[in-house]
Structure 1
Amino acid sequence: MTGLLIGAVFGAVFVVVNAHEPLNGVVATFLRVAACLAAVAVAAMWFSAARGQRTGEGGSGGPMFGRGYLAVVAAEVLLLFGGLRVLAAWERPVQANVAWIAVVVGVHFVALAPIWRTWDIAVPGALLTVLGVAGLVMTGTAAIAWVPFVSGVLSGVTLLAGAVTAGWRTLASAASAARTAA
């Protein structure tokens, strides 16, 4: 659940930071509010799962933040900041930054899937990667103003939808196991 909470927070940040023009102001505000509510829902699920583990109701997972995780995050940091510097050196439009971030975050989830032995995160990871690549392509077109929406907002929505769905399934599974054990 901690990984879901982290994903939800970053998803909300993606939406809040990138929901702006050319979106209608009402739509942008709705998206920001919905993203924050989704992140709060995941936080509530996280607290519920943590309470369940303290009382013996929740399941236990394997080590989440081991060497494999640290290697992926180190590579992510290098690719993220190195890529942003390369984009600046190539004088790419500033909109390319959010697209690059989406690519790196997406690849990071795909790389973590076999390490964490959960392929659930590979799907949102692949979607983020595609949305990031689409945004990078769009920076060279007349649709450049839509890059923050495609690579930022839609990536954030993807992270939030994945976190809410996985969190809900995790809690439902733990509740079912608790009922079976009782």
Structure 2
Amino acid sequence: MSPQLLGLLVGSGFGTAFVLANAGEPLPGGVGIALRVLAVLCLAAVVVVGFRGDRRGGTERGGTGHGDARPAWFGPRFGLVVVAEFALIFGGIAVLRALDAPQEVNVAWIALIVGLHFVVLARVWKRGAIAVPGVVLSGLGAAGMIMAAASSVEWIPFVSGALSGVTLLAGALYGAARR
């Protein structure tokens, strides 16, 4: 399995989890169910299209870090970004809990940090397209934080959670189709 396909599978898996966990109230029941079904179908499409592209060799292969124009996918810089991401997510949630923030704010914080992690990885991997979902996720996370400050917490799971999942799934499906 290529590093690109692994990344697409991880992104679409997390995107599906975001939608499944956050496509509930206050959305009407039918809308939430439809979003969940579409998320699972999109995940399946990423898997099928991604593996088909991987078998054909894909259009892009990961660099080895030895004289390639692009660095290795899962080297030390990637590890540092992921460690920082987890520290910020869990540390931030602990701070939010200590501040007595509503539970719904957690998903906004997670979306914000995951988005920033994509923006940083776009630089590390020298792949600007990865920054696009990162900027969108960061914006959706920031929107959720603003909604919390404005006491509109009931829609945070949809805005920062479900829409972030849709963004991850769309990005993964686009990436798989390009391969």
Q: Tell me the TM-score normalized by structure 2.
A: 0.89
* Whole-angstrom CA distance in 1 between matches of 2:146 and 2:59: 44
Deviations 1:2-24 (A, max 9, x none): 11111111001000000000000
Alignment partner, residue 146 of structure 1: 155
Amino acid at match of 2:111: A
Deviations 1:16-51 (A, max 9, x none): 000000000000000000001101111112221332
* Whole-angstrom CA distance in 2 between matches of 1:105 and 1:61: 22
* Whole-angstrom CA distance in 1 between matches of 2:38 and 2:128: 26
* Whole-angstrom CA distance in 2 between matches of 1:158 and 1:36: 14
Contact 1:98 1:148 in 2 (8 A): yes
* Whole-angstrom CA distance in 2 between matches of 1:47 and 1:167: 9
State the Cα distance separating 1:141 from its structure 2 match: 2.4
Contact 1:2 1:46 in 2 (8 A): no
1:79 aligns with one of 82, 88, 102: 88
Alignment partner, residue 46 of structure 2: 42
Greater per-residue helix proportion: 1
Alignment partner, residue 29 of structure 1: 33
Q: How does 1:63-142 map to 2 (within 5 A)?
A: 63-142=72-151
* Whole-angstrom CA distance in 1 between matches of 2:128 and 2:176: 15
Other structure's SS at 1:127 match: helix
Contact 1:19 1:32 in 2 (8 A): yes
* Whole-angstrom CA distance in 2 between matches of 1:6 and 1:71: 18
* Whole-angstrom CA distance in 2 between matches of 1:92 and 1:130: 19
Count, aligned residues: 167
* Whole-angstrom CA distance in 2 between matches of 1:15 and 1:146: 13
Structure 1 residues 118 and 59: alpha-carbon distance in aligned structure 2, compared to 1, 3 A threshold: closer
* Whole-angstrom CA distance in 2 between matches of 1:88 and 1:96: 10
Q: Tell me the TM-score normalized by structure 1.
A: 0.88
Amino acid at match of 1:60: R
> Which consecutive unaligned segments of at least 5 residues does structure 1 have?
171-182
* Whole-angstrom CA distance in 2 between matches of 1:43 and 1:18: 22
Amino acid at match of 1:86: V
Matched, 1:12 2:4: no
* Whole-angstrom CA distance in 2 between matches of 1:146 and 1:90: 20
> Which consecutive unaligned segments of at least 5 residues does structure 2 have?
64-71
State the Cα distance separating 1:97 from its structure 2 match: 0.2
Structure 1 residues 59 and 124: alpha-carbon distance in aligned structure 2, compared to 1, 3 A threshold: closer
Which aligned runs of 4 or more in structure 1 are off by greater than 4 angstroms? none
Percent identity for Structure 1 against Structure 2: 49
